[in-house]
């Protein structure tokens, strides 16, 4: 899947993480569990602000969600997503939210139709609880 870049000063504050470095692998697994993402059998390694995640995910979408859930935590600058997916599908694009963005605006830019925002919202659940709750620096999955 590759390496994804994040803004390490923003994101969910996870116990043990700081602006300087990511939380421990155990705390990142707890963060995944909080979002209902299965961390069983995952190998998560933290090296300062870089996180490498290996193992198996049920689908490409789950592998992408695991990577962005980890990356959208404070102290993470990059995630090396080495997960294998049991069910493969076309990989998503990724978008870093800018100040003033809304899901409708992102949808208009990505799909040419502001009314497709729900597609982006659903692709980022359960990390997003409401379409209006996005923040600058957050990385979102943009399904093709």
Distances (CA, A) of 131 to 44, 62, 76, 121: 29, 20, 24, 6
Contact between residue 64 and residue 84 where contact means Cβ atoms under 8 Å apart: no
Give just the sign of the alpha carbon dihedral 11, 17, 20, 22. Answer: negative
Q: What is the pLDDT of residue 10?
A: 81
Sequence spans of domains, the chain: 2-87, 93-142
pTM of the model: 0.90
For 93-142, CATH gives: 3.10.350.10
Angstrom distance (rounded) from CA 51 to CA 79: 5
pLDDT tens column, 64-100: 999 999 999 999 999 999 999 999 999 999 999 999 9
pLDDT tens column, 102-135: 999 999 999 999 999 999 999 999 999 999 999 9
Number of residues that make up the chain: 144
Say yes or no to pLDDT of 21 above 90. Answer: no
Cβ-based neighbours of 130, under 8 Å, separated by 6 or more: none
Mean pLDDT of 51-57: 96
């Amino acid at each position: 899947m590759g390496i994804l870049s994040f803004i390490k000063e923003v994101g969910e504050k996870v116990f043990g993480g700081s602006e300087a470095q990511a939380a421990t692998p155990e705390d990142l697994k707890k963060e995944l569990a909080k979002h209902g993402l299965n961390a069983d059998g995952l190998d998560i390694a933290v090296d300062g602000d870089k996180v490498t995640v290996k193992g198996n995910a049920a689908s490409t979408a789950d592998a992408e969600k695991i990577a962005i859930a980890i990356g959208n935590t404070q102290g993470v600058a990059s995630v090396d997503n080495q997960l294998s997916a049991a069910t493969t599908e076309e990989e998503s694009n990724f978008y870093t939210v800018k100040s003033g963005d809304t899901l409708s605006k992102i949808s208009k830019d990505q799909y040419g139709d502001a009314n497709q925002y729900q597609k982006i919202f659903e692709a980022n659940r359960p990390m997003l609880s409401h379409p209006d709750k996005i923040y600058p620096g957050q990385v979102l999955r943009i399904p093709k």
